[in-house]
């Protein structure tokens, strides 16, 4: 098997940092967040104790990948990796130089090799990893949430990892452009997991995301969106702009 490399290209990382932030500003009215203070505190604690962190996120949009890039480098200030299907990475190989790690869902042996190499690296370097356990883009309204057991495999091989759940929600509200809402929730300061428990653990996480999705849908339906703070300001709607009247 080809030896994996987790080395990143600083120039490519810098380019995508700038490009993705500009893309978010141009395509959304705002990026809003909830639970960031608690997530940042846990990240700092893990940095001090040199422990890895795993981020579990739902995958409802192409923009999810852009969001994790922005959150990792510009908000949480972490050196993060993410799991990406090899067939997609073969199409976009430059993402391999920014932290994307290839997995092949149909090849359990190769995927296990990748996860073992990745977790060894994370344990030695206290790196961070983003995982989309749904494995493919899935509407947030689909029930029940289904997670593959890969996240359980990863966590069972890590030494005292922390876990941060991250829920992405993209929708139109009262403006011309959509809003991207991010919520960090279900933080676990330290997870200890046996391999025999990984499937049950993945199912538990899927249920947590289902409950969070229901909670957020109810908030929007009731018109009471709690504690969301603007993280990044984007494009103004026509209704927000001031026009000069001529008489």
H-only helix segments in 137-182:
150-157
Residue 4 lies in a domain: no
State the total domains in the chain. 1
Residue 5 lies in a domain: no
Residue 246 lies in a domain: no
No. of helices (H) and no. of strands (E), the chain: 7, 8
The pTM is what? 0.94
| Domain range enclosing 133 | 10-240
Phi-psi region of 132 (alpha: psi -120 to 50; beta: other; left: phi over 0): beta
Residue 107 lies in a domain: yes
Residue 171 lies in a domain: yes
Element (H, E) at 20: helix 10-27
What CATH number is associated with residue 125? Answer: 3.40.1130.10
Q: Count of alpha carbons within 13 Å of 238, Cβ hemisphere only? A: 1
Q: How far apart are CA 140 and CA 167, in angstroms?
A: 10
pLDDT (tens, 9 = 90+) of the chain, 247 residues, equals: 556 889 999 999 999 999 999 999 999 999 999 999 999 999 999 999 999 999 999 999 999 999 999 999 999 999 899 999 999 899 889 899 999 999 998 898 999 999 999 999 999 999 999 999 999 999 999 999 999 999 999 999 999 999 999 999 999 988 899 999 999 999 999 999 998 999 999 999 999 999 999 999 999 999 877 889 999 999 998 877 665 444 4
């Amino acid at each position: 098997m080809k030896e994996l490399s987790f080395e990143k290209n600083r120039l490519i990382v810098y380019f995508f940092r700038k490009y993705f932030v500009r893309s978010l500003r141009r395509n959304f009215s705002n990026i809003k967040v909830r639970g960031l203070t608690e997530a940042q505190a846990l990240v700092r604690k893990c940095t001090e104790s040199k422990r890895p962190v795993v981020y579990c996120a739902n995958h409802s949009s192409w923009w999810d990948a852009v969001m994790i890039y922005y959150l990792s480098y510009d908000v949480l200030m972490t050196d993060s990796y993410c799991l990406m299907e090899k067939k997609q990475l073969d199409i976009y190989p430059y993402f391999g130089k920014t932290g994307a790690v290839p997995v092949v869902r149909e090849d359990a042996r190769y995927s296990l090799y990748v996860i073992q190499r990745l977790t060894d690296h994370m344990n030695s370097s206290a790196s961070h990893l983003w995982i989309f356990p749904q494995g493919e883009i899935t509407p947030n309204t689909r029930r029940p949430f289904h997670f593959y057991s890969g996240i359980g495999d990863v966590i069972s091989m890590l030494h005292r990892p922390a876990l941060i759940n991250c829920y992405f929600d993209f929708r139109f509200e009262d403006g011309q452009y959509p809003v991207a809402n991010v919520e960090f929730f279900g933080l676990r300061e330290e997870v200890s997991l046996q391999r025999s428990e990984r499937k049950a653990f993945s199912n538990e996480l899927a249920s947590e995301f289902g409950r969070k999705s229901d909670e957020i849908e109810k908030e929007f339906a009731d018109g009471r969106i709690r504690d969301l703070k603007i993280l990044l300001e984007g494009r103004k709607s026509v209704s927000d702009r001031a026009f000069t009247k001529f008489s």
